[in-house]
Chains A and B, each alone.
Chain A
Amino acid sequence: QQQVKQSPQSLIVQKGGISIINCAYENTAFDYFPWYQQFPGKGPALLIAIRPDVSEKKEGRFTISFNKSAKQFSLHIMDSQPGDSATYFCAASRDIYGGATNKLIFGTGTLLAVQP
């Protein structure tokens, strides 16, 4: 129940195309769903996050779509650029009232390559 399943494992997209990465979770208590971007040799950097009270969140070229009933969420990268080439991780966590935060359960990652 603690798993977050991510697909695809790798993705090749042409410059200007749309990159789509999907994640599924089982624990309905999860209420925070961030996406992280990681470049080689670096720590993960928060890209965008969503809570289950909304079905979509957009920040620039990045959009999260969230389907609560299906327990799925996805990252869409519009107008993909070579600089977007990185590993992307979805994650989920459950808020615990009172100060404990952010035990993140990560997916296995998607290696995105955007070809010029």
Chain B
Amino acid sequence: ETGVTQSPTHLIKTRGQQVTLRCSSQSGHNTVSWYQQALGQGPQFIFQYYREEENGRGNFPPRFSGLQFPNYSSELNVNALELDDSALYLCASSLGSALNTEAFFGQGTRLTVV
């Protein structure tokens, strides 16, 4: 176990709806990154939060937004859901420092948009 927990584990939403996914980072970690993993593909970087501020964003539209709280837990919000948003959403926590450090992933949230 990595100590990174995500909720919920599974979710079914209708096209056009909004969804919020949650992530609790590993104790002592101040950086949370979100990834989208489509079926049969590698994870794609959505964005990263470092000490409560967005710190880098991948090629995702603005309807993907996030938040990091003072305890370093994080939320991913997706508005106006599209069918192509169906994927496994992964949260990874790490300790921000001058050198790359290990990123530990949660088990993911499986989002299905119908």
- Closest residue on chain A to residue B96 by CB atoms: A99
A14 at interface, CB cutoff 8 A: no
Interface residues on A, range: 20 to 34
User: What number of A-B contacts does a CB cutoff of 8 Å give?
Assistant: 87
> Does A108 lie within 8 Å of B42, measured CB to CB?
yes
Residues of chain A whose beta carbon lies under 8 Å from any beta carbon of chain B = 6, 31-32, 34, 36, 41-46, 49, 89, 91, 93, 95, 97-109
Residues of chain B whose beta carbon lies under 8 Å from any beta carbon of chain A = 2, 4, 31, 33, 35, 40-45, 48, 50-51, 55-56, 58, 90, 92, 94-108
Q: List, sorted by A's number, 21 A–B pairs whose CB atoms are closer than 8 Å.
A: A31-B100, A36-B105, A42-B107, A43-B2, A43-B90, A43-B106, A43-B108, A44-B43, A44-B105, A46-B104, A89-B43, A99-B51, A99-B98, A100-B48, A101-B94, A101-B97, A101-B99, A102-B48, A106-B44, A109-B41, A109-B42
